[in-house]
Amino acid sequence: MSESEEILVDQVDDIATVTLNRPQVKNAVQAEGWLALKAVFDELKYDPSVRAVVLTGAGGDFCSGADVSAMGNRARSGESGPPPAGLLSMQQVGECILALHEMPKPTIAKVDGVAAGAGMNMALGCDLIVASDRARFSEIFARRGLSIDGGGSWLLPRLVGLHKAKELVLLADVISAQEAADLGVVNRVVPADDLDGFVADWAARLAAGPPVALSMSKAMLNNSFSLSMAQAVQDEGRAQTVNFGTHDIVEAAMAWVEKRAAKFEGR
């Protein structure tokens, strides 16, 4: 697994937990960190032993976004103009965000503390978000002289509506976990002491689900805003045809008859 000191990967049974591990800077991601994180997501995508992925941060924070300290150092030294390889760096951010969003396996963002900027938008790129009651969220870009990135311009309006998205982005306010839940950004808010256990339960439930069916459902939901109803039902029909040919649908039927939990294998 392509982990490093700054990106930890821990797998227990069929659940992989990816931990951003730069707690001294609230897990801000350095330029080279986006490449490393994408490599982790790519490996998890194709690892048959992994059936659910949890993304979190070390030291009581999720992620404060991209590490902009290099920009501050350039400003203090009197340098001007765009940073070297600026567009290339942003393409790397985008590719990492897409790798997470398009992961065929279900993903959960486990958010404690700060989720800001690209960190907030990485959480939005997961399928489910569980936050502690001390978590806080911010599309902080405007405070740093930046426009929104990390996929937030696509994800946020779909979650909260266009005008509310503009409010969050243009004013760059910090909102609480409960406010985020009220807006539909967060699925659940739990006491900080219960966060690990709650996410572990949800991850186990996802990992126990039918992998092929869940993957196709996730893809169809992700694509839903760009399709007509007619296209959507055609996609649903094709997906169900695939499901009808799997061992898992036979297992589901047998489990129902035998009044037991199904044991899905993803085949």
How confident is the model over 85-111, as pLDDT tens digits? 578 889 999 999 999 999 999 999 999
pLDDT of residue 87: 83
For the chain, the structural domain boundaries read 7-207, 211-258
Q: Look at strands 136-138 and 174-176 and give their pairing.
A: antiparallel
Q: pLDDT value at position 66?
A: 93
Confidence of residue 70 (pLDDT cuts 50, 70, 90): low
Q: pTM for this structure?
A: 0.91
pLDDT in tens, 206-236: 999 999 999 999 999 999 999 999 999 999 9
Mean pLDDT of the chain, nearest integer? 93
Q: Is the Cβ–Cβ distance between 205 and 187 less than 8 Å?
A: no
Share of the chain above pLDDT 70, in %: 93
Q: Which residues of 190-225 are buried (b: 16+ CB within 10 A; e: fewer)?
A: beeeebbebbbebbeebbebbbbbbbbbbeeeeeee
How many CA atoms lie less than 13 Å away from 205 in the CB half-sphere? 8
The H-or-E segment that residue 168 falls in is: helix 162-171
pLDDT digits (tens, 9 = 90+) for 121-171: 999 999 999 999 999 999 999 999 999 999 999 999 999 999 999 999 999
HSE on the CB side for 176, CA within 13 Å? Answer: 7
Cα-based distances in Å from 150 to 27, 90, 98, 178, 205: 15, 9, 9, 23, 28
The answer, yes or no, to whether residue 73 has pLDDT greater than 60, is: no
- Helix (H, G, I), strand (E, B), or coil: what is residue 249? helix
Q: What is the pLDDT of residues 174-218, one digit of tens each?
A: 999 999 999 999 999 999 999 999 999 999 999 999 999 999 999
- The predicted pLDDT at position 79 comes to 57
10 Å Cβ neighbour count for 252?
17
pLDDT band at 4 (very low <50, low <70, confident <90, very high): confident
Per-residue model confidence (pLDDT) at position 77: 53
Q: How far apart are CA 127 and CA 114, in angstroms?
A: 19
Q: Is the dihedral of CA 168, 198, 203, 8 positive or negative?
A: positive
Superfamily of domain 7-207: 2-enoyl-CoA Hydratase; Chain A, domain 1 (3.90.226.10)
Paired residues of 71 in beta bridges:
none
What pLDDT band is residue 16 in, cutting at 50, 70 and 90?
very high
Contact 38, 96 (CB under 8 A): yes
Q: How far apart are CA 20 and CA 203, in angstroms?
A: 18
Residue tagged 């609230």 (tokens): 26
Single-letter code of the amino acid located at 238: R
Query: How far apart (Å, rounded) are the C-alpha atoms in residues 162 and 182?
Result: 16
Q: How confident is the model at residue 68 (pLDDT cuts 50, 70, 90)?
A: confident
